[in-house]
Amino acid sequence: MKLIMKTEFDNLRLNPKHNYDTDSNGDKQVVKIYCGDLLIAKKLKQKKSIRFFGISSYLEYLIPVPLEDAGFSKSRKG
């Protein structure tokens, strides 16, 4: 697994085709995202550290986001 951005992790988590599972143990919290039985991403939160990981082919599981939702606006001419 390799490090990914939080927005990519959120994209994977919000995809209705994916399931996620949460585990907490003391100071450590783990959120795992699955596509079927395949683990595609996980979030590790330990004390003040948060890291996001995805499998090498995680880009194949992202859902397209309209530019407006990604923070881009259409340019206006006038």
Predicted confidence (pLDDT) per residue in 20-58, tens digit: 999 999 899 999 999 999 999 999 999 899 999 999 999
Q: What is the mean pLDDT of the chain?
A: 88
pLDDT of residue 70: 55
Indicate the pLDDT class of residue 72, thresholds 50, 70 and 90.
low
DSSP three-state, residue 10: helix
| First vs last C-alpha separation in the chain | 48
The pLDDT value recorded for residue 78 is: 46
Rounded to whole angstroms, the Cα distance separating 43 from 60 reads 18
The pTM of the full predicted model, rounded to 2 decimals, is: 0.79
pLDDT surpasses 80 at 65: no
Per-domain boundaries in the chain: 2-58
